[in-house]
Amino acid sequence: MIYRSGRRMLRPDKVRVKRFGSRWRGLDPAEVYAYLRALADELDRACQAESVARLEAERLRHALGEWRSRHARCWFVDPQRRTPPGTPNRGPW
């Protein structure tokens, strides 16, 4: 199960299209928009990394479930009770 916060996430496309009003003695628009482009690119990379991490986590979750189902009936065997090599397999498996 994946949990998310109730807040809306800031997406790269929203940062790229954001426009600001102009004011007298305001900030340099070219500098602001260059910063926003860099921020949007960084957000894009972070979103892609998150997507890859979620896929990997799901793959591992699935593999662990398969491993658990295959080994559900296995249990620890005391090494002293194990059969010597070359004898028929009479273990608890």
Instruction: Render pLDDT for 27-39 as a digit per residue (tens, 0 to 9).
Output: 888 888 888 888 8
Domain that holds residue 62: 12-18+26-71
Q: State how many domains the chain has.
A: 1
Q: How far is it, in rounded angstroms, from Cα 61 to Cα 70?
A: 14
Higher per-residue pLDDT: 37 or 80: 37
Asked if the structure places residue 39 within a domain, the reply is yes
Grouping H, G, I as helix, E, B as strand and the rest as coil, residue 41 is helix
pTM for the whole thing? 0.56
Asked if the structure places residue 6 within a domain, the reply is no
Q: How far is it, in rounded angstroms, from Cα 19 to Cα 42?
A: 18
Instruction: Determine the pLDDT at residue 54.
Output: 95
Q: How far is it, in rounded angstroms, from Cα 39 to Cα 45?
A: 10
Instruction: Determine the pLDDT at residue 55.
Output: 96
